[in-house]
Structure 1
Amino acid sequence: MTNLKKLVGLGTAVSMMFSIAACSSDSGNKSDPSNNDSSKHVKLTMASVQGIEGFNYTNGDAVAKYYSDKFNYELDMTALNWDNWNERLRIWINSGDMPDIAVYNYIHADAAAFVEQGLVKKLPDDWKTRWPNVAKVYSKTSLGPQMEKVFGGTYFIPRARFMANLPGDPLPNHPSIYMRKDWAEAVGFPIKSAYTTSEIIQYGKLIKEKDPGKVGDKLIPLAENTNHAVDLFVARNSTHYNNFYKDKDGTYKWGGASEDTLKGLKAFSEAYRSGVLSKDFFTVKNEEHGSYFDVKGNAGATYFQAPTSALQTHYNDFQANIKLDPYQNIHMANILGEDGKYHQEDLINFWGTIIFNPKISDDKFVRYMDVLDYNATPEGNTITNMGLKDVDWTYEANGKVKSLYDPVKEGKPLGGANGKYPSNGYLLGSTILFDDFAFDNPNSDQRLRDMSKQLYADKTKLGTPDTFTKVDWDLYTYDSPSKRKAQIDYNTDYANLVTMQGDIEANWKKWIDSKMPIIKPVLDELNSKLAK
């Protein structure tokens, strides 16, 4: 077996913020207004993905300085990456060594254990009154209110993917296929709004055979990493490939053992063994596979993140590096299973949750909650997305936001490591993700905003209640010692099955047998306690 590394009214809001009181770090206490002294300088420690290692998030650029001056803090950031995010936080939380604040990738079995052991802070009972803008976002996430019922209080503040622009219910996920339209036309491959997994493999084989871009030995027909390869082939064929689920007969089953999962694995195996996927796709770190498409130009396609907020960056990168018009040479499409249906479980309207060290001081906790509340207002949210008011954007007479930022004139993007504001992003305190604002962001080309809306809408239309399912909250919140043990790194395991020697179906059956000691106890519990 191949050894794989584990990859896997604004004025009112602002004035309220500074009258907000501090809360006790003791679970369930009311807040104490006397603890809120914003004139006192505080130092906050934080850990999150999407940070730039070594960057000064206190005053490294004008936006970072705006926030640190406004809220009188120093921010010491630990930048995690996609590969170590889950494990490092898990170690820190369990050892009691987590920073003051962290963005936690919510996994219910772990989260329940953290709450049970007092390893994360319980917010004060009156927090929604004191930070109403955060509370409004919290109510839109679905996860927040549901977990509050389960845990008897608030321990996790989910960050909403969408507020005003929710694109569907159930909520579609972001990835879509980026294809070289010029290459597809050169090899006679049809341009459509959606493709099955086998059609994408056929596209890759045509690109490999004819090399329309004259790339030679560097050609990668379909550039992926482990996570996105599994998402493309297995998840698009198998709705519950990494989860338990309630079947039509009312009993609970395990998606890892479903025939749909085998179907996806067979497609995955064919793509790998035919050379459509790079032979070392599993060594690609983080999300670097996208660069083969829009930076290096040697990939025919990539199944990659495609929320509205990301499209402009990818199109700009393509134009800057490939020197071709991206609107003429990139085609975006959705991927369907071999049954012609879109497969997915409800994404749930959140990504990442904000948690606090249970020993965080009242001063620090209140200060960061103030930041979150400000950034949940229209003005704060606009700053986190578009930069400084009256410098990078302003309000028109009708109240609409007008961009003042010209990336061509500036010679750099607004955000990112090489942008005007490297701090631009979620790390300065956001509970609303870029995905929502992106539909209205004047810095994004209207063509991309319209296309993104269509991609999301089509996923909803192409799914059925059986293939694109709503969240089963009874299952999602079910917790037991057996359930906590049944955590599997599905992406790495599935990639191992595909890259190891032997028949994929035989490999899959052996894998199922090897997992049954931890899977069967959970199935027995679910069917005795939840099945109807």
Structure 2
Amino acid sequence: MTKLRKWVTLGAALSMSFSIAACSSDSGEKSVQKSTDNSKRVKLTMASVQGIEGFNYTNGDAVAKYYSDKFNYDLDMTALNWDNWNERLRIWINSGDMPDIAVYNYIHADAASFVEQGLIKKLPDDWKTRWPNVAKVFSKTSLGPQMEKAFGGTYFLPRARFMNNLPGDPLPNHPAVYIRKDWAQAVGFPIKSAYTTSEIIQYGKLIKEKDPGKVGDKLIPLAENTNHAVELFVARNSTHYNNFYKDKDGKYKWGGASEDTLKGLKLFSEAYRSGVLSKDFFTVKNEEHGSYFNVKGNAGATYNQAPTSNLQTFFSDFQSNTKLDPYQNMHMAIVLGDDGNYHQEDLINFWGTIIFNPKISNEKFERYMSVLDYNSTQEGNIITNMGLKDVDWTLDSNGKVKSLFDQAKEGKPFGGANGKYPSNGYLLGSTILFDDFAFDNPNYDQRIRDLSKQLYAEKPKKGTPDTFTKVDWNLYAYDSPSKRKAQIDYSTEYANLVTMQGDIEANWKKWVDSKMPIIKPVLDELNSKLAK
């Protein structure tokens, strides 16, 4: 996910409204009564990314207090960060020390191991009838039902990226390239809706040579971190760069050894060695590279997250920091491989899964499931996105939702550490991500929503069945000791190949050979058990 910062700075156009049907979670109007007695207050412990360290998620703002009062709980939150999210949870789960609830970044090999060892809770067999609104969201995620079949029960509750506004099938990923439009025009670089990776490098070289923004030594032609650099150069040229896949001949292959991956690595190497990428891009923390573009203003471009719910913040930050109109001085586009096609595996309609400690009491479990069920209704989904009814939004005489939030009057943004509601985000029990609601949210500038729809729609159009592929669920759910051993941090290892001395192709060939002892056993298994 999908890693998205959702603390949204809300802009103008607040008089806009939209129908409840348009933003509905399609999950029913009412939450059924549970056996939980809410008269007894419970303390819930939880761990997730996207939290604010030290913030009081029980009553630190009015929305947090609304939920804790409504469901009679105290919420003790551990705020993880992007860099420690996977490892911290892995350690806690394996040691039996995980909190009551966690948002887990689903990795199938680890997930299968957790289930096998009984390290996370299996939901009761009747959970779908007890919490039907959660069940409707679950059914839309694809991953949920598939893993339910694989594990013989429900252990993971995936959070749906989209409910009513699914932008494509297969599902496109969010990132896009942000380009300084004014700089591009100054150096004669064309403004288009899509660029190949080679064209992005060309743009970076022009910016580096001519420095149209007069940035000087601080200029970064293309600001990236390790993950997004690999996404831009390798993933956009190699559909299966970090996975196994079934080739046209019916046999399973390893994407790390494909010629497409080598092509992407050569482009990555060119960008690094020509100075288009910063020499220390690999030291930039996760998700912080975009700040060189929209905060510091010394980057010519950045390949970054671009979901609808993120764009308002990005555009607003660009304007407030550079004092330039983002609609006149920024351009966004999708990135294609050098073959002219869009490359990606189906994103799958989820990001992050909710899991429970196997020792959680029934009382705590049922209480939190009630929170999830409420937030899967129309009312709960609107509150998680827009704040309190009759304070931040209301219904007009036609039953349409109308925003009451005015950032100018409030003197602060809606969410974020310095916002009206620092709790705004996914930590108060969301099963539907902001990506879906954002297309209809009247607090977002219509230009943002239109641009985002265009970016999502372009990707499937530019892909082919071979370059933008559907999910191979047999492969996705395949598990074995050999497969678990073949876990590779592709982003780090590809960055290492590019930054080490020597010829990139020679470095890559040595790397492929070094991985074969863990890769070949998996290929042998896949081709004997799954290949036709």
TM-score by length of 1: 0.94
The within-5 A match list for 1:358-507 is 358-507=358-507
* Other-structure match for 1:3: none
The within-5 A match list for 1:141-220 is 141-220=141-220
The runs of at least 4 aligned residues of structure 1 exceeding 3 Å deviation read 12-17
User: What's the CA shift string for 1:53-86, capped at 9, x where partnerless?
Assistant: 1111111111111111111000000011111100
* Other-structure match for 2:254: 254
CA distance in 1, matches of 2:100, 2:118: 15
CA distance in 1, matches of 2:403, 2:236: 38
CA distance in 2, matches of 1:126, 1:399: 34
Instruction: Tell me, yes or no, if structure 1 residue 56 matches structure 2 residue 70.
Output: no
* Other-structure match for 2:347: 347
The amino acid of 1:20's aligned partner reads K
Residue pair 2:31, 2:377 contacting (<8 A) in 1 also: no
Helix, strand or coil at the partner of 1:382: helix
Instruction: Tell me, yes or no, if structure 1 residue 84 matches structure 2 residue 102.
Output: no
CA distance in 1, matches of 2:262, 2:321: 39
CA distance in 1, matches of 2:320, 2:401: 27
Residue pair 2:30, 2:377 contacting (<8 A) in 1 also: no
User: What's the CA shift string for 1:262-311, capped at 9, x where partnerless?
Assistant: 00000100111111111111111121111111111001111000000000
Helix, strand or coil at the partner of 1:394: strand
CA distance in 2, matches of 1:258, 1:454: 31
The within-5 A match list for 1:77-116 is 77-116=77-116
Residue pair 1:13, 1:374 contacting (<8 A) in 2 also: no
CA distance in 1, matches of 2:409, 2:311: 21
The amino acid of 2:491's aligned partner reads N
Helix, strand or coil at the partner of 2:465: coil
- What is the CA-CA distance between 1:161 and the residue it aligns to? 0.2
Residue pair 1:394, 1:404 contacting (<8 A) in 2 also: yes
- What is the CA-CA distance between 1:408 and the residue it aligns to? 2.1
Instruction: Tell me, yes or no, if structure 1 residue 513 matches structure 2 residue 513.
Output: yes
CA distance in 2, matches of 1:426, 1:475: 30
CA distance in 2, matches of 1:463, 1:374: 38
* Other-structure match for 1:228: 228
Moved more, 336-345 or 393-402: 393-402
CA distance in 1, matches of 2:31, 2:476: 36
Helix, strand or coil at the partner of 1:335: strand
Mark the CA change 1:134 to 1:506 in structure 2 (over 3 Å): closer, same or farther.
Answer: same
* Other-structure match for 2:12: none
* Other-structure match for 2:308: 308
CA distance in 1, matches of 2:511, 2:202: 28
- What is the CA-CA distance between 1:395 and the residue it aligns to? 1.3
Given candidates 26, 29, 34, the residue that maps to 1:20 is 34
CA distance in 2, matches of 1:384, 1:228: 29
The within-5 A match list for 1:31-50 is 36-50=36-50
User: What's the CA shift string for 1:11-49, capped at 9, x where partnerless?
Assistant: x967644x212xxxxxxxxxxxxxx11111000000000
The amino acid of 1:419's aligned partner reads G
Instruction: Tell me, yes or no, if structure 1 residue 290 matches structure 2 residue 281.
Output: no
Give RMSD over aligned pairs: 1.1
* Other-structure match for 2:14: none
- What is the CA-CA distance between 1:396 and the residue it aligns to? 1.9
* Other-structure match for 2:527: 527
- What is the CA-CA distance between 1:335 and the residue it aligns to? 0.1
- What is the CA-CA distance between 1:412 and the residue it aligns to? 1.6
- What is the CA-CA distance between 1:413 and the residue it aligns to? 1.2
- What is the CA-CA distance between 1:397 and the residue it aligns to? 2.2
CA distance in 2, matches of 1:143, 1:398: 37
CA distance in 1, matches of 2:457, 2:476: 25
Residue segments in structure 1 that go unaligned for 5+ positions in a row: 1-8, 22-35
Helix, strand or coil at the partner of 1:467: strand
Q: Matched residue pairs, number? A: 508
CA distance in 1, matches of 2:351, 2:90: 17
Helix, strand or coil at the partner of 2:93: helix
Residue pair 1:81, 1:286 contacting (<8 A) in 2 also: no
Residue pair 1:174, 1:306 contacting (<8 A) in 2 also: yes
CA distance in 2, matches of 1:408, 1:527: 61
The amino acid of 1:449's aligned partner reads R
CA distance in 1, matches of 2:208, 2:97: 50
CA distance in 2, matches of 1:326, 1:401: 28
- What is the CA-CA distance between 1:238 and the residue it aligns to? 0.2
- What is the CA-CA distance between 1:400 and the residue it aligns to? 2.1
CA distance in 1, matches of 2:208, 2:61: 45
Instruction: Tell me, yes or no, if structure 1 residue 332 matches structure 2 residue 332.
Output: yes
- What is the CA-CA distance between 1:466 and the residue it aligns to? 0.1
Residue pair 2:31, 2:374 contacting (<8 A) in 1 also: no
- What is the CA-CA distance between 1:409 and the residue it aligns to? 2.2
- What is the CA-CA distance between 1:246 and the residue it aligns to? 0.1
Instruction: Tell me, yes or no, if structure 1 residue 66 matches structure 2 residue 66.
Output: yes
User: What's the CA shift string for 1:124-152, capped at 9, x where partnerless?
Assistant: 00000010110000000000000000111
Residue pair 1:234, 1:261 contacting (<8 A) in 2 also: yes
CA distance in 1, matches of 2:270, 2:281: 14
User: What's the CA shift string for 1:491-515, capped at 9, x where partnerless?
Assistant: 0000000000100000000100110
CA distance in 2, matches of 1:71, 1:312: 32
CA distance in 1, matches of 2:399, 2:206: 51
Residue pair 2:31, 2:132 contacting (<8 A) in 1 also: no
User: What's the CA shift string for 1:65-120, capped at 9, x where partnerless?
Assistant: 11111110000000111111001100000000000000000011100010000000
Mark the CA change 1:262 to 1:44 in structure 2 (over 3 Å): closer, same or farther.
Answer: same
Helix, strand or coil at the partner of 2:103: strand
Residue pair 1:83, 1:286 contacting (<8 A) in 2 also: yes
CA distance in 1, matches of 2:30, 2:344: 43
User: What's the CA shift string for 1:436-471, capped at 9, x where partnerless?
Assistant: 000000011111101111111100100000000000
Among all aligned residue pairs of Structure 1 and Structure 2, give the percentage whose two residues are the same amino acid. 87
The amino acid of 2:272's aligned partner reads Y
CA distance in 2, matches of 1:94, 1:498: 34
- What is the CA-CA distance between 1:399 and the residue it aligns to? 2.2
- What is the CA-CA distance between 1:398 and the residue it aligns to? 2.3
- What is the CA-CA distance between 1:418 and the residue it aligns to? 1.4
* Other-structure match for 2:240: 240
CA distance in 1, matches of 2:356, 2:266: 43
Moved more, 63-72 or 397-406: 397-406
User: What's the CA shift string for 1:469-494, capped at 9, x where partnerless?
Assistant: 00000000000000000000000000
Helix, strand or coil at the partner of 2:238: coil
Residue segments in structure 2 that go unaligned for 5+ positions in a row: 1-23
Helix, strand or coil at the partner of 1:68: helix
Structure number with higher relative contact order (C-alpha < 8 Å, ≥ 6 residues apart): 2
The amino acid of 1:426's aligned partner reads Y
